[in-house]
Amino acid sequence: MSEPINDHFLATVSRAVTMWQVFYEVDPEDKVLDILIRLARDHYGEGYQTSDDLATYLIGTYLGRWSVMMTNAPTSNSIH
């Protein structure tokens, strides 16, 4: 990410991930949230700079915890 981490960034990503977590009823202690935070950080840099916009993107793109886990899974090319 090219932008420095600041309070607005942290608050935006935190709120967006929390909205996703509540929407999909994922346990707040679930390790999948670590992956989602990384994905949210990446998309924040692509222009989703409000928590509502970012949450809408995350909810529409990553459909529950298994979707996030599949996004993070290694591809066959990276294994071989």
pLDDT digits (tens, 9 = 90+) for 25-57: 999 888 899 999 999 988 887 888 899 999 999
- Residue 78 maps to a domain: no
Higher-confidence position of 48 and 60: 60
1-34 pLDDT, tens digit per residue, is 455 568 888 999 999 999 999 999 999 888 899 9
State if pTM tops 0.95. no
- Residue 1 maps to a domain: no
Which amino acid type is present at position 45?
A: G
40: containing domain: 7-73
Number of folded domains in the chain? 1
- Residue 2 maps to a domain: no
- Residue 31 maps to a domain: yes
